[in-house]
């Protein structure tokens, strides 16, 4: 009987070895690729978390990084720097006066915020033009008057285009593409377009971009820019982003401002 059991065990082991021998074996390089992909995904997620970039807008306050130093000029001609806004809670928007789509809506939201937060002396609204060649201080003054902007509370900033685009992209982490850049982008080959689409999906700035067109010069390429509002605390830290098409988020914005004023 023991011999029978031994023979049965041997047959089972032999059958198992035969079954394993017919299974397809994955080449060693395939395992290497899987490991590299896993490490790449882990690094990417860690990098996003450590850099504080706004890959997705969160419902509560976060630290998306500090607004870097900048030197721009208000419509009054007065120089404005990051240091001038320290100690204030401010809301930033990106606009240009010839914009026919997003900008009037964005500026209307800012005008309502000016009224809603009128009793808060430590609040500033900051609109930054991405068309500085056209948006001179005089043009911005007329634009600001159209929205009844109070000079001391709602700033309209212009300056060197390279400085503005660097601030918008690298400082506020918002998307902006100038006319010449839009032309260059449209000239991409069909083979390059899928790679650009993938890159844009993973880029926080591009993910927030919206389209705007100049009504006075239809032949001029569009300036593409973000229509989101950016909330910055007293220390110059970006704390939250707001989609201007999200009414619930816009209703929350004044409450968030007051929370930051209280030290949250």
> What ranges do the domains of the chain cover?
2-51, 71-261
Euclidean distance between CA atoms 173 and 111, whole angstroms: 23
pLDDT tens digits, 202-226 = 344 333 334 444 444 444 447 889 9
Q: Residue 188: helix, strand or coil by DSSP?
A: coil
pLDDT tens digits, 111-160 = 999 999 999 999 999 999 999 999 999 999 999 999 999 999 999 999 99
User: Is pLDDT at 27 greater than 60 in this prediction?
Assistant: yes
Assigned CATH class of 71-261: alpha beta
Euclidean distance between CA atoms 105 and 242, whole angstroms: 13
Place of tokens 């000029």: 73
Which pTM was predicted? 0.67
pLDDT tens digits, 49-76 = 434 444 444 448 898 999 999 999 999 9
């Amino acid at each position: 009987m023991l011999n029978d059991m031994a023979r049965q065990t041997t047959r089972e082991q032999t059958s198992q070895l035969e079954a394993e021998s017919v299974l397809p074996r994955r080449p060693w390089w395939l395992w290497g690729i899987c490991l590299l992909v896993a490490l790449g995904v882990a690094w990417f997620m860690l990098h996003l978390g450590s850099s504080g970039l706004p890959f997705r807008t969160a419902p509560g306050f976060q630290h998306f990084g500090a607004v870097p130093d900048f030197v721009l000029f208000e419509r009054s001609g007065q120089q404005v720097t990051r240091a001038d806004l320290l100690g204030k809670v401010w809301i930033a928007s990106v606009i240009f006066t010839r914009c026919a789509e997003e900008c009037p809506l964005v500026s209307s939201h800012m005008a309502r915020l000016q009224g809603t937060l009128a009793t808060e002396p430590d609040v500033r609204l900051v609109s930054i033009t991405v068309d500085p060649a056209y948006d001179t201080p005089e043009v911005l003054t007329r634009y600001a008057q159209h929205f009844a902007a109070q000079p001391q509370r709602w700033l309209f900033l212009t300056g060197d285009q390279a400085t503005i685009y660097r601030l918008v992209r690298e400082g506020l982490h918002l998307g902006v593409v100038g006319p010449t850049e839009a032309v260059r982008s449209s000239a991409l080959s069909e083979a390059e377009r899928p790679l650009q689409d993938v890159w844009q999906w993973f880029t926080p700035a591009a993910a927030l971009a919206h389209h705007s067109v100049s009504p006075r010069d239809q032949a001029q390429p569009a300036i593409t820019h973000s229509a989101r509002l950016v909330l910055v605390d007293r220390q110059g830290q970006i704390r939250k982003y707001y989609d201007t098409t999200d009414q619930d988020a816009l209703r929350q914005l004044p409450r968030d401002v007051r929370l930051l004023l209280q030290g949250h």
